[in-house]
Amino acid sequence: MTDPHLRTRIEFLDPSSIRLTETATPEVSPEELLAMDRIWEAEIARSPHLFDGPLVTCVGLEWQQRELVLSWARATYRHRALRRLRGYGGWRPSSVFVTVLQPTDTGELVVGRGSASTAAPGRWQLPGGSAEPPAGDGPLDLLVLRRHAARELVEEIGIDIPSECLSSWAVTRGGNGNIGFHFLAPPRSAASLRERFAALVAAERASGREPELDRIVLIRSRTDLADLGGPHVDYLTAVTDRYAEQ
């Protein structure tokens, strides 16, 4: 049976402005917490590289005319196990994540494949990752998300640019109600992108670590996605289509 909470269609929200407001983390009963912990421990047993790090979760969206107001709460990765509780009608954590569209100077986009050390090995995606809550009582806003996107770009494909060079490109809502903030980077040559990525992978492995992405390719359209083989994140086809139309 299809989960009625699961969105399978990617929606572009296109607000004129965005406001992010922190709210309290929704309560979960002791019984549900125990069930959540059991699911998480089973996940750890299957994938020991997982960690219960801090996470931003979306708990509500509201339109105030053309402004999008996103209510968010602090959680950790194990809270995602609540989505898998049968018969559970309470809070289902939705992720807030960032991505970077890194184009070449001939109009292609970089996509990468998750390495064996990630939570989704073999899955194709844009450079990016789940948003983390700010330290202390600091605000979460587009500037913070843009800086996070810039960090993901250097950590995943080796491209180090100032965060102010990234422009807001789109906001999406997709599977499980996940909210994606997508940023556009300045174009670079295909040769320099491949060179930076190869240097990053070599440095990571020389340090005894696996890179987050084990391969990158350059794509132009959804036809190229179909040729990759393996799964990809739910937003990738829609984002690729919109980028190709511009």
Between 47 and 143, the higher pLDDT residue: 143
In a domain, 196, yes or no: yes
CATH number, position 91: 3.90.79.10
Give the whole-number percent of the chain exceeding pLDDT 90.
76
The domain total for the chain is: 1
Lowest mean pLDDT among 114-123, 185-194, 235-244: 114-123
Between 79 and 86, the higher pLDDT residue: 79
In a domain, 1, yes or no: no
In a domain, 167, yes or no: yes
User: Which phi and psi (to 5°) does residue 50 adopt?
Assistant: -65, 150
Chain segment 90-107, per-residue pLDDT in tens: 888 899 999 999 999 999
In a domain, 6, yes or no: no
3-state SS track over the chain: CCCCCCCCCCEECCCCEEEEEECCCCCCCHHHHHHHHHHHHHHHHHCCCCCCCEEEEEEEEEEECCEEEEEEEEEEHHHHHHHHCCCCCCCCCEEEEEEEECEECCCCEEEEEECCCCCCCCCEECCEEECCCCCCCCCCCHHHHHHHHHHHHHHHHCCCCCHHHCEEEEEEECHHHCEEEEEECCCECHHHHHHHHHHHHHHHHHCCCCCCEEEEEEECCHHHHHCCCCCECCCHHHHHHHHHHC
Give the whole-number percent of the chain exceeding pLDDT 70.
97
In a domain, 180, yes or no: yes
Amino acid in position 148: H
Q: What angle do CA 97, 127, 162 make, to 5 degrees?
A: 90
- Mean residue pLDDT of the chain comes to 91
In a domain, 2, yes or no: no
pLDDT grade, residue 2 (50/70/90)? very low
pLDDT grade, residue 1 (50/70/90)? very low
Full residue range of the structural domain in which residue 58 is found: 11-245
In a domain, 59, yes or no: yes
Q: What's the farthest any 2 CA atoms get from each other in the chain?
A: 55
In a domain, 98, yes or no: yes
